[in-house]
A and B are shown apart, each in its own frame.
Chain A
Amino acid sequence: QQQVKQSPQSLIVQKGGISIINCAYENTAFDYFPWYQQFPGKGPALLIAIRPDVSEKKEGRFTISFNKSAKQFSLHIMDSQPGDSATYFCAASKRGTASKLTFGTGTRLQVTL
């Protein structure tokens, strides 16, 4: 019940296209859902996050869509650029301080020219 399932494992998108990565969770105690971007040899960098009280959050080209009833959330990268090529991890945590992050398995995104 602690798992966060992420798909696809890898994704190839043409420059200018839309990248969509999906995650699903089972634990209804999760109430914070961040996405992290990781470049090779670097640490995960917080990209955008959402809480269950909203269905969508947009920051620039990055949008999280959240479906509370389905217990699913997704990251949409609009106008994908080669610089977006990285591994993306969804994660979830429960309410409370010092609450650990449970990560998905990651999606390797490649944006081609």
Chain B
Amino acid sequence: EPEVTQTPSHQVTQMGQEVILRCVPISNHLYFYWYRQILGQKVEFLVSFYNNEISEKSEIFDDQFSVERPDGSNFTLKIRSTKLEDSAMYFCASSTGTQEQFFGPGTRLTVL
């Protein structure tokens, strides 16, 4: 069964450093999303992406964040200058354009 994959599974970084989280969406999906989940809290929407453009972004997705589809398979989330409060699980999701979204296993980001 096709699935969303994410790398790395765990990323540790120093405050102020740049990180890039990578996702490979399901191959025939065209809509891509990033969500985050701070430990013990609910899953929060960050950004949606379609046709090489951001469709929607949340208040969390400020200028420190960016997304890119650098090739036909990868979808990345970049945080330019990490803060302590960016520590969370980051989930990538994809869909065909229906409302069903399929999530990856997540990347645990720890900012020290």
CB-based contact A89/B43 at 8 Å: yes
Is A97 among interface residues, defined by CB-CB distance under 8 A?
A: yes
Give the shortest distance, in Å, between A93 (CB) and chain B (any CB).
5
CB-based contact B55/A43 at 8 Å: no
**CB contact between B105 and one of A34, A43, A98, A100 (< 8 Å): that residue:** A43
Q: In the assembled complex, which residues on chain B have CB atoms less than 8 Å from the CB atom of A36? A: 43, 103
Q: In the assembled complex, which residues on chain A have CB atoms less than 8 Å from the CB atom of B58? A: 100
Per-residue A-contact encoding for B69-106, CB less than 8 Å = 1, 0 else: 00000000000000000000001010101111111111
* Distance of A91 Cα from B95 Cα, bound (Å): 15
Q: In the assembled complex, which residues on chain B have CB atoms less than 8 Å from the CB atom of A69? A: none
CB-based contact B103/A106 at 8 Å: no
Name A's interface SS: loop
Is A1 among interface residues, defined by CB-CB distance under 8 A?
A: no
CB-based contact B100/A43 at 8 Å: no
Chain B residue at smallest Cβ distance from A91: B43
New A-B pairs, 8, CB < 8 Å, besides A97-B98, A98-B95 = A34-B99, A44-B43, A46-B100, A49-B100, A97-B97, A98-B31, A98-B49, A98-B50
Which 8 interchain pairs have the tightest Cβ spacing?
A43-B103, A98-B55, A32-B99, A100-B45, A103-B43, A97-B97, A98-B48, A98-B31
A and B contact pairs by CB, cutoff 8 A, 28 listed: A32-B99, A34-B99, A41-B106, A43-B4, A43-B91, A43-B104, A43-B105, A44-B43, A44-B91, A46-B101, A46-B102, A46-B103, A93-B99, A95-B99, A97-B50, A98-B31, A98-B48, A98-B50, A99-B99, A100-B45, A100-B48, A100-B56, A101-B33, A101-B35, A101-B93, A101-B101, A102-B45, A103-B42
Chain B residues within 8 Å of A, Cβ to Cβ: 4, 31, 33, 35, 41-45, 48-50, 55-56, 58, 91, 93, 95, 97-106
